[in-house]
Amino acid sequence: MIELTTPITEEQVRGLKVGDQVSISGVVYTGRDAVHKYLHEGGALPEGVSFEGSIIYHCGPVVVKDENGDWQVTAAGPTTSIREEPYQADIMKRFGIRGVIGKGGMGPKTLAGCAENGCVYLHGIGGAAQVLAEHITKVRNVYFKEEFGSPEAIWELEVTGFPAVVTMDSHNKSLHAEVAAASQAVLDENL
């Protein structure tokens, strides 16, 4: 298990390779379809927010206010990442993102973006909303909640020991491409 703490340096990212299991601590920002489209179309981050060296998490959490009026994340697994394929490479470059957490993997454009900008794709366990919520220790802030709705908002989250697997590294290797090619070969033999 490799410990990753934000902010992450390019050197750390370049040292990661496909198949590495990582444990993430620090600050991550959720962002999914609405946020990616907005930023890609030239939208600005909220004042005081910087993605430099940070991680974006493809996630629409379930968040409720507790009796003290504080936000509590009660379920927070990754959402399907491929929907952000048109936008991700551009956004990682513009905002200096070093890691993308999601599920299902992403395509060639993002893989090239990872190599060019020094970024990795970190695969969370899809559906494991409770285990992953336990690794979210605090909600620091929320942005665009009114505009985009709760699941689509940017939630600024503190995480500790959040588990993920590097499935796309900054050296043009993708576990998704490898598994798809291998499974296609077996399928061809079995048709």
Note whether 137 binds another protein by CB under 8 A.
Answer: no
Note whether 75 binds another protein by CB under 8 A.
Answer: yes
Note whether 112 binds another protein by CB under 8 A.
Answer: no
Q: Are 61 and 42 in contact (CB under 8 A)?
A: no
Of 87-95, 113-121, 136-144, 159-167, the window that binds another protein (rule: CB under 8 A) is 159-167
Q: Which of 36, 58, 123, 135 is catalytic?
A: 36
**Closest distance of CB 64 from another protein, Å:** 5
DSSP states of 137-181: EEEEEEESHHHH-TTTSEEEEEEEEEEEEEEE-TTS-BHHHHHHH
Of 9-17, 44-52, 118-126, 136-144, the window that binds another protein (rule: CB under 8 A) is 118-126
| Residues 31-70 contacting another protein, CB under 8 A | 34, 59-62, 64
Q: Are 160 and 137 in contact (CB under 8 A)?
A: yes
Note whether 180 binds another protein by CB under 8 A.
Answer: yes
**Closest distance of CB 171 from another protein, Å:** 18
CA pair distance 101, 99, nearest whole angstrom: 7
**Closest distance of CB 52 from another protein, Å:** 27
Give strand ranges (E) for the chain.
2-5, 21-30, 55-57, 62-65, 71-75, 99-102, 120-123, 136-143, 154-168
Q: What are phi and psi of 34, to 5 degrees?
A: -65, -45
Structure tokens at 63: 């968040």
CA pair distance 31, 15, nearest whole angstrom: 25
The verdict on whether 176 is a catalytic residue reads no
User: What residues act catalytically?
Assistant: 36
- Interface residue list for another protein (CB under 8 A): 19, 21, 34, 59-62, 64, 74-77, 79-80, 82, 103-105, 123, 125-131, 133-134, 148-152, 163, 165, 167, 175-176, 178-180, 182-184, 186-187, 190-191
